[in-house]
Amino acid sequence: MNLTHVEHIGIAVKNLDEAVKFYESVFGLECYGIEEVINQKVRTAFFKVGETKIELLEATDPESPIAKFVNKRGEGIHHLAFHVEGIERALEEAKEKGIKLIDEKPRDGAENMKIGFLHPKSTLGVLTEFCEEK
Ligand code: ZN
């Protein structure tokens, strides 16, 4: 598989608007987009730091995986996302190497990306995402 860079780091927050203000006032970053991802029951806000982005995630539903994460572990780093070339093949290759996948096939993510998650139980405890432009 061909990982090109860390595309983003996903951070689970309780209140997206407050978290955006925090990143803007403390780190001097500028939020360039807020987007709701219906199929993941989240609202996201994006910041650029060089080639890498910070993706803040707020649950829009108590059944959202982000709501469950925040209830169990509090706010914090939720996942690490690598940009890959050829996401379908990268997911297949991970599976061939015995990695448990959350997504066997890519699905739609924020920012017009195809995304797929690897299960943290088989990735040293880090929820890992692959993503690629559509
Ligand atoms: Zn992500």
Give the DSSP per-residue string, 10-73: EEE-S-HHHHHHHHHHHH-----EEEEEGGGTEEEEEEEETTEEEEEEEESSTTSHHHHHHHHH
**82 close to 3: Cβ distance less than 8 angstroms:** yes
What spacing in Å lies between the alpha carbon of 129 and ligand 1's midpoint? 6
In this predicted structure, what is the pLDDT of residue 39? 84
Rounded to the nearest angstrom, the distance between the alpha carbon of 78 and the centre of ligand 1 is: 9
What separation in Å is there between the alpha carbon of 128 and the centre of ligand 1?
Answer: 9
pLDDT at 110: 86
Two structure tokens written together for 47: 């910041």
Summary count for the chain: helices (H), strands (E): 3, 8
Ranges of the chain with pLDDT below 70:
none
Q: How far is the CA of 10 from the centre of ligand 1 (A)?
A: 5
| Res 111: pLDDT | 86
pLDDT at 100 (0 to 100): 98
Fold of 2-133: 2,3-Dihydroxybiphenyl 1,2-Dioxygenase; domain 1 (3.10.180)
User: Hey, is 115 helix, strand or coil?
Assistant: strand
User: 55 has which bridge partners?
Assistant: 10, 46
Distance 79 CA to ligand 1 centre (A): 7
Centre of ligand 1 to C-alpha 70, Å, is 16
Determine the pLDDT at residue 60: 97
| Model confidence pLDDT, tens digit, residues 12-51 | 999 999 999 999 999 999 999 999 988 889 999 999 999 9
Ligand 1 center from residue 97 Cα (angstroms) = 22
